Copies of this chain bind each other. A is one copy, B any other.
Amino acid sequence: MKRYGSVIAVKPDKLEDYIYHHAHPWEKVNAMIKECNIQNYSIYYKDGLLFSYFEYVGEDYGADMEKMAADETTQRWWDLVKPFQTPLDTRKEGEWWAAMEEVYHLD
């Protein structure tokens, strides 16, 4: 299992929309996330930033992410929610959410 932490900003005037839609996630989007071997997935908000934490339990993260990106319902969900976000300037090439560095872990 591999843990992923990442961060992105949310537009102040879109925070309410972001929270509303994530309180009412689409069933098919959730199902695809699980099908792509992601579990125990949480998103937190504070002071304009969103932090996400999830656990990947599959064998090929890249392949699973490609599968998710190819899913039409997921694409429509992203079309809905990505305009609410502002990715960090410091993210790496190809990132939307910026990966964070794990500096501590205790099981």
Residues of A within 8 A of B (CB): 3, 5, 7, 18-19, 22-23, 25, 30, 33-34, 38-47, 49-51, 53, 88, 90, 98-107
Contact = CB atoms under 8 A, between A and B. Distances in A.
Nearest to A31: B106
A36 B94 CA distance: 40
Q: Is the interface of A mostly helix, strand, loop or mixed?
A: strand
B25 A104 contact: yes
A45 B99 CA distance: 9
A101 B40 contact: no
Contacts of A23: 103-104
B46 A98 contact: yes
B7 A46 contact: yes
